[in-house]
Chains A and B, each alone.
Chain A
Amino acid sequence: MPKDNSIKSVLIIGSGPIIIGQACEFDYSGTQAARSLREEGVKVILINSNPATIMTDPMMADRVYLLPLTVESIEQILQENQIDAVLPTMGGQTALNLCKEADEQGIWEKYNCRMIGVDVAAIDTAEDREKFRQLMVKIGIAVAPSHVANSFLEGKEFAQKIGFPLVIRPSFTLGGTGGGFVHTKDDLDAALERGLKASPIHEVLVEKAVLGWKEYELELLRDKNDNVVIICTVENLDPMGVHTGDSITVAPAMTLSDTAFQDMRNKAMLMMRSLGNFQGGCNVQFAMNPETEELIAVEINPRVSRSSALASKATGYPIAKIAAKLAIGYSLDELKNQITKTTSAYFEPALDYVIVKIPRWNFDKFKGANDTLGLQMKSVGEVMAIGRSFNEALQKACVSLENDAIGLGYYGKSMMKSEEIVEYIKTPKWDRIFRIKDALMQGSTVKSIAQATGIDRWFLYQIQKLCVIEKEIAHHRLETLPDDLLKDAKKNGFSDAQIAKVLQGNCSDDEVFEKRKKLGITRVYKMVDTCSAEFEAKTPYFYSTFEN
C-alpha cells in the first residue's frame, strides 16, 4: 500500500530562532522534509518565525509563513489554506510543543487537520519524565531511580530518599535548560528552585545520577507496518554527565560487542513500539554500566533531532527525507535507498569509516560564563569529520574547529604538570580532549585518565598512538623524517602544518606537502555510500583520506 492519497497538503512547523541547544539541524530536517513531500506532489505550507533559514526560501515550500510560532498563527494559516495534515516532527521540541498546545485547544480538530508522523500521547510520554518512567517499568526496561516533584519540599524529600549524586531535570524544556547535577545539600536547594522555574508545568524529576556510565544513542525509523530499522549508533566519548550536544560523539559505536549492541537494539525497538503509533524518526538514548554492560534507558525523542541530522550526514541515509515519506503512508520496503538508488530503504547502513563530531563552544565571547559542561547544553555549533580511523577523524575534526588548534596538538597553553592535568580533567570542560592529549604526552597512564574522566580506554589508547607518532616525528628534521612515519602520521590525521610544527628546525607546511607529494603520499577520496562498498552508489558524497 503506497502513500495515503487523502493527504494533499501538509503544514510543516519550523523550530523558530536559533538558540543554544537548538540550531540549524532543524532547518536541515525541515528542508529535507519539504523537498521530500513536494517530490510526492504534496502541497507544502511552512511556518517558521526565523527568516534566516533555508527552509523559508520561497522555492522550498508552496507557501511560507514568517509568523510567530503561536497557536494564533497556526489558526490563521488553517483559515487561509486547506491543510490536510500537520507534520510537527521536523521542528524539534518547539514544534512538538506548539502542535500539542494547538491540539489541547482543539485547533486541529476544528479545521479537520490530521497530525502525522507522531501522536500527542507519544509526545506526552516522551517528554513527561514520570510517564516515561512508568512506561519503561511496564515494558521491563531499567531506568535510573527517580521521583517527580511539583514542589520544592517534595523535591527535598525525594532527594533524601535517593541520595547523592542526583540530577534535577525540569520537564518540557529544551537542551536541558534549568537542569543540573547535585552533589551536596547546598546545591540541592538552588537546583530545585531553578528547575521548577524552568519547567513550563512547574515540574522536575529528581533522579539518581549514573555519572561515568557510557552513553549511546540510536537513531530509528518506523513505518506504518511497524517495520523498524536502526539507522545509526552513536557513541558518546564523554560519559554520562555531559549533555549529548556538548559531548564528543563517534559513529559507529566503537566499543560495543555484538551482544551488548543487540541488547540495546532490541530495547530501543521495544521502546519505540511501545511509545504509540507513529511513523517516522525516533532517537533513543541509553546509559551502559561499563563493568556489567547493564543498560538504563535515558530518554526517547519521537522526532528527528540534532543527532538524526548528524546520523544522516554520518551514514548518508537521509532520515528526515524518508521520515516525511513514511508520515504520508509509505512503508520502508516500498522506498529505495536514496544513495544507491537500486537497493531497499529498509536496511541498516554499514559504515567503513569513522565519524567524529566535536562541539564548538564560544566561551571567549561569554566572559564570566561557567565553562563546566553538564546537563545544560553550552556549545554553539559542531564540526563533523570523516576518516578511515578514529584518529584521522578526530584530528580532522580538531582542525575544522577554526580555533587555534592544529590537530589535537597545541591548543591553548598548558603549563600544568601531568598530575595537575589529571586533576583538571576530572571536571568536563571544553578543552578536555586537548588536555587529555597533554597528559598522555607527559606520560600519564591511560588507566589514570580513564579513572579521572570515565572515558572508555579504547579512545585513550588511540590518542596515545597519536602521542607516540608525535614524539617520533619530534626526533627528526624534515630531511631525516622516514617515509613510513610520514605516511603513518597522515593516516592518523596529522595535518602538514602540525607535522611542520612538531619537526625540528624551521620548516613550513608547504615543505611538508612538497616532500609527501614527491613520495606519492597524497589524498584519496572515498565515498559515503550507506553500505560499506557492498553496492555501487549513485549519489556522490566523498571524504578524503590517506591509504597505502
Chain B
Amino acid sequence: MPTTSRDAILLLEDGNVFYGKAFGKIGTTAGEICFNTGMTGYQEVFTDPSYTGQVLIMNNVHIGNYGVKITDVESDSIKIKALISRNLENNFSRFLADDSLDNFLLKNHITAIDNVDTRALVSHIRAKGAMNCIVSSEILDVDQLKTLLSQCPNMDGLELASTVSTEKEYELGDPKSQLKVSVLDFGVKKNILNCLVERGVHVRVHPAKTPLARLKEFNPNGYFISNGPGDPASMPYAIETVKGILSENKPLFGICLGHQLLALANGIPTYKMHHGHRGLNHPVKNLLTGICEITTQNHGFGVDAKAVLNNENIEVTHINLNDESIEGIRLKDKPAFSVQYHPEATPGPHDSRYLFDDFLKLMQN
C-alpha cells in the first residue's frame, strides 16, 4: 500500500510539480513527457522503440492488472524512460502471465511514479504542450531536480533512431520465399515484422545507416521504412536513403517515422506537434475506399498538410477524422505509400492490417 511506500516526485520543465509514490526502480530519470489513452496493452507500449526518450503517462487508471507475458512485447526491453500512473498494480490475475509489472520494471531498471493525479497532469499537458520532465524517487529537492532537468536534451532536432536500430543485419521468414523485403530499421516494432512474415515475406532487417547499395544486395521485391523515435528532420542520412530507394521504382511502404521520411524525401517538411497522438482509438478515414478505421497511434511529429496538398505528385489516402491531419499518402508516379499510424497495432485494433496485404499486392504486380 502507498501508505508505507516511499515518496516520489515529478517536476515539469515549466516548474509544475506533481507528487506521488515510488514504484519500480528507485532512481531519477528525465525525458519528454507524453500520454497514452489506451486501455489495454501497456506492456506492448512500454517496449515500443518509438517511445525512446519519453516519460509516459498512462491515462487508464489501473496499470499492471494482468501482469506481463514474455511474448506480449514489441522489442526485447522497455523503451520508455519512466512511467507515470494513478494506480500501479503489483497483484495480477492473468493465468498466462509470466511476471508482475513491478518485477518487469525492476528488471528493466525503469523508475515509475504511482498515485499521481494523472487526469490533472494530462489536462495540463494538453493545454501547455509537450515538454521535458524529470521523475525521481531518490531526490525530492526540487532545485536539485531543476538542475538535472536542464541537462535533458530537447526532442525537437534530436536524432534517436540510430540508437535503437539493430546493430547487425538479421533475417526473418522463409528464405525460399518469392517475396523479399529489405527493412530499414529505425526501431522497428516486432509485430510489424510479424505482419510481413505471417504473409510469407522473407525480410532482411538492416541498421539505420545502411547505404542503399547494401539494401539492394538482398535483391528485394520491396522496401519497408520502419517506425522509430526522435525528430525525422534530423535524419538527413535516412532521407537520402529513401530518395535512393524511390529511384529504384520498387514498392515502398513506410509506417510512422517511415511515413515522415517518405514525405521529407519528397520535399515536404515535418513539424513537432503540440502534444502528439498516442492511443488506440484514433479515427482515420481511407479516402480511397470511404471506409473508416480505428487506429493505433504514437507520434509527436507530423507532416505538413499544406505542403502535401500543394504537391502534385502526392495523393492523400488517409485523413484523421478528429483534426484532419494527414494520416496516409501515396506517390502518383511511384509504387510508394505510407501511413502515420500503426496498422500492425499491438496494442490496438486490427482494422488497418489490410495495408500489409496492399503492400504485398504491390510487390506481386
Q: A255–B94 contact, CB under 8 A? A: yes
CB distance from B359 to the nearest CB of A (A): 21
- The residue in chain A whose Cβ has the minimal distance to the Cβ of B38 is A350
Q: B62–A389 contact, CB under 8 A? A: yes
Interface residue B348 (Cβ < 8 Å from any Cβ of A): yes
> CB within 8 A of A265: which of B89, B117, B349?
B349
Q: Type the 1/0 row for B287-330, where 1 means its CB is closer than 8 Å to any CB of A.
A: 00011101000000000000000000000000001110000000
The docked-state distance in angstroms from the alpha carbon of A461 to that of B321 is 40
CB distance from B121 to the nearest CB of A (A): 9
> CB within 8 A of A333: which of B72, B94, B292?
B292
The docked-state distance in angstroms from the alpha carbon of A485 to that of B3 is 6
Give the contact-size bracket for chain B.
35 or more
Q: B3–A252 contact, CB under 8 A? A: no
The docked-state distance in angstroms from the alpha carbon of A343 to that of B123 is 17
Give the chain A neighbours of B59 by CB distance below 8 A.
Answer: 350, 352, 532-534
Give the chain A neighbours of B126 by CB distance below 8 A.
Answer: 533-536
CB distance from B90 to the nearest CB of A (A): 8
> CB within 8 A of B120: which of A226, A349, A351, A547?
A547
Residue of A258, A388, A485 with highest tally of chain B CB at under 10 A = A258
> CB within 8 A of B283: which of A333, A482, A526?
A333
Give the chain B neighbours of A39 by CB distance below 8 A.
Answer: none
Interface residue ranges of B99-119 to A (CB < 8 Å)? 115-119
Main secondary structure of the interface of A (DSSP, over half): loop
Given A256-B66, A258-B40, A547-B120, residue A344 in contact with residue B281 (CB < 8 A): no
The docked-state distance in angstroms from the alpha carbon of A262 to that of B350 is 7
Interface residue A225 (Cβ < 8 Å from any Cβ of B): yes
Interface residue A229 (Cβ < 8 Å from any Cβ of B): yes
Interface residue A65 (Cβ < 8 Å from any Cβ of B): no
The docked-state distance in angstroms from the alpha carbon of A547 to that of B61 is 12
> CB within 8 A of B294: which of A229, A252, A534, A547?
A229
Interface residue B37 (Cβ < 8 Å from any Cβ of A): yes
Give the chain B neighbours of A226 by CB distance below 8 A.
Answer: 291
Give the chain B neighbours of A261 by CB distance below 8 A.
Answer: 40
Main secondary structure of the interface of B (DSSP, over half): loop
Given A266-B350, A531-B37, residue A547 in contact with residue B281 (CB < 8 A): no
Q: B2–A488 contact, CB under 8 A? A: yes
Interface residue ranges of B137-159 to A (CB < 8 Å)? none
Residue of B119, B122, B290 with highest tally of chain A CB at under 10 A = B119
The docked-state distance in angstroms from the alpha carbon of A259 to that of B35 is 21
> CB within 8 A of B3: which of A457, A472, A535?
A472
Q: B3–A227 contact, CB under 8 A? A: no
Interface residue B365 (Cβ < 8 Å from any Cβ of A): no
Q: B117–A262 contact, CB under 8 A? A: no
CB distance from A488 to the nearest CB of B (A): 5
> CB within 8 A of B285: which of A333, A388, A524, A535?
A333
CB distance from A234 to the nearest CB of B (A): 12
Q: Type the 1/0 row for B269-295, where 1 means its CB is closer than 8 Å to any CB of A.
A: 000000000011111010000111010
Q: A548–B19 contact, CB under 8 A? A: yes
Q: A389–B87 contact, CB under 8 A? A: yes
Tally of chain A residues near chain B (CB < 8 A): 60
Interface residue A347 (Cβ < 8 Å from any Cβ of B): yes
The docked-state distance in angstroms from the alpha carbon of A350 to that of B281 is 7
Q: A293–B72 contact, CB under 8 A? A: no
Q: B40–A456 contact, CB under 8 A? A: no
Interface residue B254 (Cβ < 8 Å from any Cβ of A): no
Give the chain A neighbours of B18 by CB distance below 8 A.
Answer: 548
Q: B321–A227 contact, CB under 8 A? A: no
The docked-state distance in angstroms from the alpha carbon of A266 to that of B294 is 12
Q: A258–B348 contact, CB under 8 A? A: yes
Interface residue B91 (Cβ < 8 Å from any Cβ of A): yes
- The residue in chain B whose Cβ has the minimal distance to the Cβ of A351 is B39
Interface residue B194 (Cβ < 8 Å from any Cβ of A): no
CB distance from A178 to the nearest CB of B (A): 34
Interface residue B162 (Cβ < 8 Å from any Cβ of A): no
Interface residue B65 (Cβ < 8 Å from any Cβ of A): yes
CB distance from A540 to the nearest CB of B (A): 15
Interface residue B92 (Cβ < 8 Å from any Cβ of A): yes
The docked-state distance in angstroms from the alpha carbon of A56 to that of B20 is 51
Give the chain A neighbours of B282 by CB distance below 8 A.
Answer: 347
Q: A533–B122 contact, CB under 8 A? A: yes
Q: A353–B61 contact, CB under 8 A? A: yes
Interface residue B41 (Cβ < 8 Å from any Cβ of A): yes
> CB within 8 A of B60: which of A352, A472, A484?
A352
The docked-state distance in angstroms from the alpha carbon of A534 to that of B35 is 9
Give the chain A neighbours of B122 by CB distance below 8 A.
Answer: 352, 532-534
Interface residue B164 (Cβ < 8 Å from any Cβ of A): no
Given A347-B321, A388-B86, residue A258 in contact with residue B283 (CB < 8 A): no
Given A389-B62, A548-B116, residue A258 in contact with residue B93 (CB < 8 A): no
Q: A257–B72 contact, CB under 8 A? A: yes
Give the chain A neighbours of B196 by CB distance below 8 A.
Answer: none
Q: A484–B3 contact, CB under 8 A? A: yes
- The residue in chain B whose Cβ has the minimal distance to the Cβ of A526 is B119
Q: B94–A257 contact, CB under 8 A? A: yes
Interface residue A19 (Cβ < 8 Å from any Cβ of B): no
Interface residue B213 (Cβ < 8 Å from any Cβ of A): no
Interface residue ranges of A506-548 to B (CB < 8 Å)? 524, 526, 531-536, 547-548
Give the chain B neighbours of A354 by CB distance below 8 A.
Answer: 61-62
- The residue in chain A whose Cβ has the minimal distance to the Cβ of B68 is A257
CB distance from A359 to the nearest CB of B (A): 23
Give the chain B neighbours of A535 by CB distance below 8 A.
Answer: 126, 322
The docked-state distance in angstroms from the alpha carbon of A534 to that of B126 is 7
Interface residue B346 (Cβ < 8 Å from any Cβ of A): yes
Q: B123–A533 contact, CB under 8 A? A: yes
Give the chain A neighbours of B66 by CB distance below 8 A.
Answer: 255-257, 458
CB distance from B162 to the nearest CB of A (A): 29
The docked-state distance in angstroms from the alpha carbon of A261 to that of B346 is 11
Q: A255–B3 contact, CB under 8 A? A: no
Q: B96–A293 contact, CB under 8 A? A: yes
The docked-state distance in angstroms from the alpha carbon of A258 to that of B117 is 24
> CB within 8 A of A350: which of B65, B87, B279, B346?
B279
- The residue in chain B whose Cβ has the minimal distance to the Cβ of A347 is B283
The docked-state distance in angstroms from the alpha carbon of A389 to that of B60 is 10
Give the chain B neighbours of A348 by CB distance below 8 A.
Answer: 280-281, 294, 349
Give the chain A neighbours of B19 by CB distance below 8 A.
Answer: 548
Q: B91–A458 contact, CB under 8 A? A: yes
- The residue in chain A whose Cβ has the minimal distance to the Cβ of B294 is A348
Interface residue A390 (Cβ < 8 Å from any Cβ of B): yes
Interface residue A80 (Cβ < 8 Å from any Cβ of B): no
Interface residue B334 (Cβ < 8 Å from any Cβ of A): no
Give the chain B neighbours of A254 by CB distance below 8 A.
Answer: 62, 65
CB distance from B126 to the nearest CB of A (A): 6
> CB within 8 A of A256: which of B1, B40, B43?
B40
Interface residue A186 (Cβ < 8 Å from any Cβ of B): no
The docked-state distance in angstroms from the alpha carbon of A524 to that of B86 is 15
Q: Type the 1/0 row for B321-352, where 1 means its CB is closer than 8 Å to any CB of A.
A: 11100000000000000000000011111100
Give the chain B neighbours of A457 by CB distance below 8 A.
Answer: 91, 93
Interface residue A469 (Cβ < 8 Å from any Cβ of B): yes
Give the chain B neighbours of A388 by CB distance below 8 A.
Answer: 61, 86-87, 119
Interface residue A2 (Cβ < 8 Å from any Cβ of B): no
Q: A352–B93 contact, CB under 8 A? A: no
- The 8 A-B pairs of least Cβ separation, nearest first, read A258-B41, A258-B347, A344-B321, A458-B93, A461-B91, A547-B117, A532-B59, A350-B37
Sample of 12 A–B contacts (CB below 8 Å): A257-B66, A258-B44, A262-B349, A266-B350, A343-B283, A350-B37, A350-B281, A388-B61, A389-B86, A390-B62, A526-B119, A535-B126
Can you name 14 extra interface pairs (CB under 8 A) apart from A262-B349, A458-B92, A533-B119? A256-B66, A333-B283, A333-B321, A350-B60, A388-B61, A388-B86, A458-B65, A465-B1, A488-B2, A531-B37, A532-B60, A534-B126, A548-B19, A548-B117
